[in-house]
Structure 1
């Protein structure tokens, strides 16, 4: 990090000592319970995201308020109704509020926010309609990292002709995410057809012996094609990895 511009801003009174400290440390403190990483996107292109799941709604709102003030945009994932209500005051301070209901994601932006722009393209496929919420988390993440995203849903192996009919939509993508539950076969099929990196995203859909996505995860890990695999329901991770690869 180049410290000289920061020190010059402090000496000229344009930056307080506390603000300079935050820039140097690379995170902002939220009371005594959170530290929002303000330099993650500068380091590796992946934005810091607020995971609402497991947090108190009031704490999520506090983190989001600090994040949008520092970064002009905040992405909050896995939001329940109570947390959505707690975010109302934060929403009122944003110029733009995007609510992706299927994925339970909210993106807040100020009027000063300038989105990243890349030439990367990411395709997101699902085996079934039940896989869409996790796939949407991946799609939103890749879009927020500046990629053009094409979604092709409900093209699983139970009716493989559906996927072949849509091949023109993903054949030229720079990276492809394939979300599937049950036995998780679709990523293997797609990876055997294209020359782009494919990321398998196992989804916790399906009952019986392979419940909670375990069969899908193991099936993708055992794939005979060249395939990367993320954890079960890890839509954010899949989207971020795909965007990094597509922009590469």
Structure 2
């Protein structure tokens, strides 16, 4: 502790960085940033912009970059994205408007690299937002990501055309709205873990993702299921599997 205090006193360590070393998180006017999550859990901490003002989101992003070298923002509106970019003018900014994500990198930051691949599959173009959020998380965790788009069960030939790629992946994230059948079908064709990502697309009763999640939960083929539109969770879970696969390969 004395070394930390001396580093703060001589200016080589900021109070925020010192707090992270002592408590594991940084306190800001907009809330606490869990800077130790990646070390503790193997997942990058994300800043959920939904429900936060642009200024609050930017404040947390600054704390994230200062303490971990990177800020990952999800569910970001254009105003959130602009505020983060303005607050971090020296950072490289990667924005995916469709996935509603913003990632800011300090110049020395390097993403990890995993020796594992994840295929992200969508039933239709409307599933791209949640699937894109999962893809960004996986990229930040270091996995190799393959996107397979618009292969819904209305024409099974579209899925079968990609069967070799599906079977080569170490883990699959399969996003679908409507009745949510695609993950069940895919899980019956592969011997790799499948994570079902229900999406809130559809018509009328159950069209808000309820039918999709219930269909996946009742799957007669084995798969895991996350909550509706929970791209971050699906990507994180797939990333943990990918990391385990990578660790096993590199320990041989």
TM-score by length of 2: 0.91
1:173-221 deviation line (CA, Å, top 9, x unaligned): 1110000000000000111111111000000000122220000000000
Instruction: Tell me by how many angstroms 1:81 deviates.
Output: 2.2
User: Do structure 1's residue 161 and structure 2's residue 157 form an aligned pair?
Assistant: yes
- Pick from 134, 148, 160: which aligns with 2:144? 148
- Compared CA separation, residues 165 and 37, structure 1 to 2 (3 A): same
Does the C-alpha gap of structure 1 residues 215 and 93 become closer, same or farther in structure 2, counting only changes over 3 Å?
Answer: same
Residues matched between the structures, number: 241
Query: For 1:168 and 1:44, how far apart are their aligned partners in 2?
Result: 32
Shift of 1:7: 4.3
1:84: Cα distance to partner?
2.3
CA displacement, residues 4-60 of structure 1 (integer Å, 9 cap, x when unaligned): xx64454575546764343121000112x4000000000111010011111111111
Identify the residue that residue 20 of structure 1 maps to in structure 2: 18
Could you tell me which residue of structure 2 aligns to residue 30 of structure 1? 28
Runs of 4+ in 1 over 6 A off after TM superposition: none
Give the unaligned 5+ runs of structure 1.
Answer: 1-5
Counterpart secondary structure, 1:103: coil
What is the CA-CA distance between 1:109 and the residue it aligns to? 0.5
The equivalent of 1:69 in structure 2 is 66
Alignment match, 2:123: 127
Do 2:122 and 2:175's aligned partners in 1 also have CA atoms closer than 8 Å?
yes
Aligned-residue CA RMSD (Å): 1.6
Unaligned stretches of 5+ residues in structure 2 = 245-252
1:218 aligns with 2:211: no
Is 1:101 the equivalent of 2:97?
A: yes
Mapped partners of 2:182, 2:207: distance in 1: 17
